[in-house]
Chains A and B, each alone.
Chain A
Amino acid sequence: MTSTGSAARWYVAAVALLVASIMLGASIGAAGPAAWRVPLALLDHLPLISIDAGISEIDWNIIWKIRMPRVVLGMLVGGMLSIGGASYQGVFRNPLVDPYLLGAAAGAGLGAIIVLTIARDTTSNWTVDPVPVAAFCGAMLTVFVTYLVGSGYRGSGQSGTTLVLAGVAVTAFVTAVQTYILQRNADVVREVFAWILGRLSSASWSDVRLCLPYIAVSVIILFAMRRHLDLLRVGDEEANALGMSVGRTRLIVVAAATLGTAAAVGVSGLIGFVGLVVPHVVRLAVGSSYRNLIPLSFLVGASFLILADIPGRTLQGGAETPIGVVTAFLGAPFFIYLLRTRAAQVAQ
């Protein structure tokens, strides 16, 4: 019973962190109103509340049209990558995997590269930017291929291992194709890199609208499957003997996590380490039960990405640091620390 009590405290802390992150994310930026006025202005715009924050129409536009989409997108993407990472870790019973494991990142990259190179001229005057759509489709398609390849073998059962290996092979292949295309189109390398490193800087409400439905569906399904993930912790065989169809569970979780991840990658590029590191941080706090891990990973991941987006805004003056660089910069050392201290648990 003590464990549920302490879990409740972590939920409160995670929600508080998210609210604080949103406020901070909305308050800090190169131009715009004094930071302390922003929370007041946001409160003022809530229904039934009226406060004189003392900011101008222009300032409000900076908050609402430039910063808020960025904050909301960071929240959705960060939450999605974390919950996707936690789900992948559960379904493959491997704490060292992230949502890009089965080729989502490589596929998204290929989709984006194809648009940026081959189809750039023909699509430049489209009303809908085709890059996120192509990245989304590339990610979904690649994971689908991985699944076909990896669940083809019957010999060793439907174990996750064959899927992971298929993911490695498919990723290598898709990356080779990427490299080939890039080599013949060296002029767009810079643009492709900017995309690959991930960014929230150009976020608009239309980006939010673009990814929200997929992320919402994904999050709802993964939330509903969190007990299945707990049962999977005792192994495929015993989960099966306890009455769970392991193959179907794995398929549902992978499909849902991939859907949301592909949507997140489509609008923000390849933001690394969030899906890997955030679930681990949550594990350190509340333990490995997916019942808490899934919802808390979303809250913490959302906060983390909003916060990670802040230093990039001002770090290099004019040119922003890509958020993928910031998350890798923070995430990689932490990951090494985890590897060194928790190698024993990781191995089992």
Chain B
Amino acid sequence: MSGLTFDTVDVSYDDRAAVVGFSNEVASGEWVGLIGPNGAGKSSLLRAVAGLTDSDGVISVDGRPLAAMSIRERARHVAYVAQNPITPEDMSAFDYVLLGRWPYVGRFGAESSRDRKAVDEVFERLRLIDFRERRLGELSGGERQRIVLARALAQETSVLLLDEPTSALDIGHQQQALELVTELRCHQQLTVVAAMHDLTLAGIYSDRLVMLDDGIVVADGSAAEVLTAERLGDVYHVCVTVDIDPDDGAVVVVPRRGFPVDGS
């Protein structure tokens, strides 16, 4: 069994449950979009996979439970891009991406030439060569976002977790970043789980959408199955119409004025 599997995963803070009984199988190379309103538990789930918060149940990568791995080993399997990553202003882009090699370098040793080569390759693949020696503080939000993505790719993991990867980007850079992930995913069999707020983009780029509400899965399937006006009204308390593009079947969620028909 390959990819990322969840077996009744619970995440709770003190007594409050953030994710309840989450079970799912993400195939190797699949892109799953995690959607749901604020506080639904999307970040909690991603953070549990990255080992940043305690969880019950079993999460495994390629059949191996993450709990059985050391944190260095986990970092060789799972890369995590936070929603608002800290990017030290005067760190160079190269040094920042080089941090992605941390799970591979010796305990105190310097990075090997192999690590540097891996980083150079990532810069090349993402067409970021020009930014190599630039300081992070001098980059635009979109450029910085790509550097952060580059760091995650330098980790050479099979699973990539993205927490709202495009929330700070304009529409053009959003698309650029998502296209990039798509390209890489095909290129190297990357399994992607991305929490996203833009439902239309989530639908277009994901193979499958999983919708959470209050820590519970309320829908799981293709964009057309998950994104219905009725369900969105129920879960998000929002008034929308959902159009399906007749040419390519893309699901477009359009906000409308007015109050939703209350589902409860």
Write the residues of chain A forming the contact surface with B, with a CB cutoff of 8 angstroms: 1-3, 155, 224-225, 227, 230-231, 233-235, 237-238, 240-245, 287-289, 345, 348
B51 interface neighbour in A240, A287, A345, Cβ under 8 Å: A240
**Given A237-B82, A287-B90, are A230 and B99 neighbors across the interface (CB < 8 Å)?**
yes
Tell me whether A238 and B51 are in contact (CB under 8 A). no
Tell me whether A234 and B86 are in contact (CB under 8 A). yes
Tell me whether B108 and A238 are in contact (CB under 8 A). no
Contacts of A2 in B (CB 8 A): 133
Shortest C-beta distance, B79 to chain A (Å), equals 8
- Give the segment of B67-75, B177-185, B193-201, B203-211 that binds chain A: B67-75
Contacts of A288 in B (CB 8 A): 88, 90-91
Q: Does B50 interact with chain A (Cβ within 8 Å)?
A: yes
Q: List 25 A-B contacts (CB under 8 A).
A: A2-B133, A3-B92, A227-B108, A230-B95, A230-B99, A233-B88, A234-B87, A235-B86, A238-B80, A238-B85, A240-B51, A240-B52, A241-B75, A241-B79, A241-B82, A242-B102, A242-B155, A243-B71, A243-B72, A243-B73, A243-B103, A287-B90, A288-B91, A345-B89, A348-B89
Shortest C-beta distance, B57 to chain A (Å), equals 20
Tell me whether B90 and A243 are in contact (CB under 8 A). no
Tell me whether A241 and B88 are in contact (CB under 8 A). no
Q: Does B42 interact with chain A (Cβ within 8 Å)?
A: no
Q: Interface size class for chain B?
A: 20 to 34
Tell me whether A244 and B91 are in contact (CB under 8 A). no
Tell me whether B71 and A245 are in contact (CB under 8 A). yes
B102 interface neighbour in A224, A244, A289, Cβ under 8 Å: A244
**Given A242-B155, A244-B102, are A234 and B95 neighbors across the interface (CB < 8 Å)?**
no
**Given A224-B108, A234-B86, are A242 and B100 neighbors across the interface (CB < 8 Å)?**
yes
Shortest C-beta distance, B85 to chain A (Å), equals 6
Contacts of B96 in A (CB 8 A): 234
Tell me whether B91 and A289 are in contact (CB under 8 A). yes
Contacts of A1 in B (CB 8 A): 133
Most buried by A among B14, B90, B99, B133: B99
